[in-house]
Amino acid sequence: MERRQPPQTEEGWYVLHDFRSIDWDAWRNAPDRRRERAIEEGREYLSAAEAVADADEGDSATFTVLGHKADLLVLHLRPTLGDIDALERQFEHTALAEFTERADSYLSVTEVSGYMSQEYFEDDETADAGIANYIESRLKPEIPDTDFLSFYPMSKRRGPDHNWYELPFDERADYLSNHGEIGKDYAGRVTQIISGSVGLDDYEWGITLFGDDPTDVKELLYEMRFDPSSSRFAEFGRFLSARRIDSSDLGAFLAGKRVPQDDADSAHGHPHGHGESGDHGHAHGDSGGHHGDSGGHHSGSEDDDVRSELEEMGVYAGKPHGEDVHAVVLYSAADAEELFEEVDGMRTNFDHYDTHVKTAVYESETGADDAEAAIVSLWETERAANTAAGFLAELPDIVRQAGDDEDDSWGTMGMFYTVKPDHRGDFTGAFDDAAALLADMDGHRKTDLLANCEDENDMFIASRWDSREDAMQFFRSDAFSEAVEFGRDILTDRPRHVFLA
C-alpha cells in the first residue's frame, strides 16, 4: 500500500483568537464605579498585551466583532503555549471579564511547509536568503495595521470523490502554487496570517485576512472559490468579521460610540506599544507609518512646501516617491556585496508581484569610514512598498529607513541620477567639487554618493543637515543651480532632486 508523502513543516508562534460577548444587560445595570473599574482594568490588560509586556516577542491586537457571533476579539501571537495560557487567565482576573462570556476561540500555530520551499527544509543553511527571510516573517508575523479582519477555519476535504490526502505530493504542490497566484494579485490590499491547527482545534488551519477595504477581502475569497484547490478540496468553518480598535477606545466602544472616535485615526494607523514593527522588528505590510512613508518627522505639507519652492527656482523636485512609483530606502552598515546576495534572493520573491518595479543595492562611492550601503525598492502602490519595507527591515545591520529622521536633523536625497556612460567621470568629479563646497557650509553634516551595485551609472546622493533651512540654503545657491544645469548634459533622464531621507 503506497503512503503519500506529507509536507515537512516548521512552526513558529502560537495564535489565539479569543472571541468575547458582552453581557449588555449586566453592563447597563451595573453602577458607574463598577463600569469605570472594568474599563480601566480592561484597558490596562489590552494595552499591556499589545505592548507584549508579558513576553520577549509576539503581538496582540483588539477588534470589535460585527454581527451576533461575538462583540470583541483579542488576537494574541506568542512564542509558547505557556504565554497564551497566562494571557487567557490574566484576562479572567480583570473586572472587565465579569461582564463577558467567551463566545468562541481558536488555537493554532503559525507554520510554513515544504510546499513553499523544499530547499529550505532540505538544507536551510544554503537556502536562498530571500526565501529564508520570507519564511521567518511567516513564522513570526506582525498583526497588520489595517482596519478590517476576516477569520475562518478550514480543512482539506477527505471525501469519496475528492480526497486531498490521496493526491501525490507534486500534484498538491501544483494546486497550492496556482492557488497562491491568485493571492499575488491582491498584494498590498490583503495580508494573511496562516496558522496550522491539526490536533489543536476543530479544523486543520486558521486563516486570518487583513485589509482596509472589506470588499478586497470579499473579492479575493470569491475569486478563490473558483480555484480547484478550494472548489474541490476545501471545507470551511464559519466566518467572523471585525474592525480593529486601540485599547484606549474600549470605553467608547462600551458606551456605544463610534470607534475609532476620530475619523482621522483610520489614516494614521493604530499605535503599537512594542517596537516598530512588531513582528521581530518589521512589519508586514502595512503597518504603521514608518514603512514607505516619505515623511518620518517631516509632514506632508512640509514636503509640498519644499517642492513648491524648488519649482519656483526652476528645479524639478518630482513627486514624493517618484513619478509613478513608491520608493522605500533603507540604509545598512553591512558590506554591500554581502547585502546584495541577500537582496538578490529576496527580490526573486518580489518579482512575483506585478506591483514590483525594482529593488537594488547601492554602494558608497566615497569609501568613507561612516559610509553606508542603501537598499532602494520601488513599487507601483504605497501598500506594496509598505509590505516590502517589512521584509527589507530584516536585512543585516539596518541603520534606519528614509523618513525616520532623528529629531535633530533633516535629510534629503537626490534620486534617479542615470548618468550617460561616457560622462560618469564628469559626474563623479562634479560631485567631488560639490562635496568640498558642502563641507564648509553651516548646518551640513554629511553627503554621500552611492551607485547601484549592478549598474554603476545609476546613482543617488544622500545628505544630512542640521535643519530644513540649512538644506534649502544650499538648494538656493548658485553652485546648486550650476550643478542642475550641468546635469542636463550628462544625465539620460531628469532627476528628482529632493526626497526626504
pLDDT in tens, 25-42: 999 999 999 999 999 999
Q: Which of 203, 78, 198, 96 is nearest to 143 (CA)?
A: 78
Which of 153-167, 199-213, 296-310 shows the lowest mean pLDDT across its residues? Answer: 296-310
Domain 300-490 fold is Alpha-Beta Plaits (3.30.70)
**pLDDT computed for residue 260 by the predictor:** 74
**pLDDT computed for residue 297 by the predictor:** 34
Q: Kindly give the interhelix angle for 478-490 and 424-439, rounded to the nearest 10 degrees.
A: 170
The angle subtended at Cα 463 by Cα 388 and Cα 376, nearest 5°, is 20
Which of 96-100, 172-176, 258-262, 356-360 shows the lowest mean pLDDT across its residues? Answer: 258-262
User: Quick check: 406 pLDDT over 70?
Assistant: no
**pLDDT computed for residue 66 by the predictor:** 96
Q: Kindly give the interhelix angle for 214-225 and 169-184, rounded to the nearest 10 degrees.
A: 150
- List pLDDT tens digits, range 328-368: 888 899 999 889 988 888 887 788 777 888 899 999 987 77
**pLDDT computed for residue 267 by the predictor:** 36
Burial of 89 (0-12, 13-18, 19+ CB in 10 A): exposed
User: Quick check: 429 pLDDT over 90?
Assistant: no
Task: Give the three-class secondary structure for 471.
Answer: helix
Task: Give the three-class secondary structure for 418.
Answer: strand
Average pLDDT on 407-425 reads 76
**pLDDT computed for residue 440 by the predictor:** 83
User: Quick check: 271 pLDDT over 70?
Assistant: no
CATH no. of 9-268: 3.30.70.1030
Domain boundaries, the chain: 9-268, 300-490
% of the chain with per-residue pLDDT over 90? 40
Separation between Cα atoms, residue 90 and residue 87, nearest integer Å: 5
**pLDDT computed for residue 101 by the predictor:** 96
Q: Which residues contact 232 (CB under 8 A, 6 or more apart)?
A: 157, 162
Which of 23-27, 250-254, 497-501 shows the lowest mean pLDDT across its residues? Answer: 497-501
% of the chain with per-residue pLDDT over 70? 78
Q: Is the pTM of this model over 0.75?
A: no
When the pLDDT of each residue in the chain is averaged and rounded to a whole number, the result is 80
**What are residue 462's DSSP bridge partners?**
413, 448
Which of 135-149, 359-373, 415-429, 468-482 shows the lowest mean pLDDT across its residues? Answer: 468-482
User: Quick check: 273 pLDDT over 60?
Assistant: no
Catalytic site includes residue 106: no
**pLDDT computed for residue 316 by the predictor:** 53
**pLDDT computed for residue 346 by the predictor:** 82
**pLDDT computed for residue 102 by the predictor:** 95
Which of 29-38, 231-240, 268-277, 339-348 shows the lowest mean pLDDT across its residues? Answer: 268-277
Average pLDDT on 15-20 reads 98
H/E run at residue 450: strand 444-452
**What are residue 56's DSSP bridge partners?**
none
Point out the catalytic residue in the list 14, 152, 203, 362: 152
User: ω into residue 105 within 30 of 0, thus cis?
Assistant: no
**pLDDT computed for residue 285 by the predictor:** 29
**pLDDT computed for residue 44 by the predictor:** 97
User: Which grid cell is 450?
Assistant: 552611492
List Cα–Cα distances, 451 to 128, 366, 408, 428, in angstroms. Answer: 25, 10, 27, 10
- List pLDDT tens digits, range 446-455: 888 889 999 9
pLDDT bucket at 89, cuts 50 / 70 / 90: very high
Which tops the pLDDT comparison, 274 or 151? 151
Q: Which of 192, 243, 234, 236 is nearest to 213 (CA)?
A: 243
Identical fold at 9-268 and 300-490?
A: yes
Instruction: Fill in the DSSP letter of residue 442.
Output: T
H/E run at residue 28: helix 24-29
**pLDDT computed for residue 74 by the predictor:** 98
Mean pLDDT: which of 72-81, 187-196, 226-235, 379-388 is highest?
Answer: 72-81
pLDDT bucket at 412, cuts 50 / 70 / 90: confident
Which tops the pLDDT comparison, 176 or 317? 176
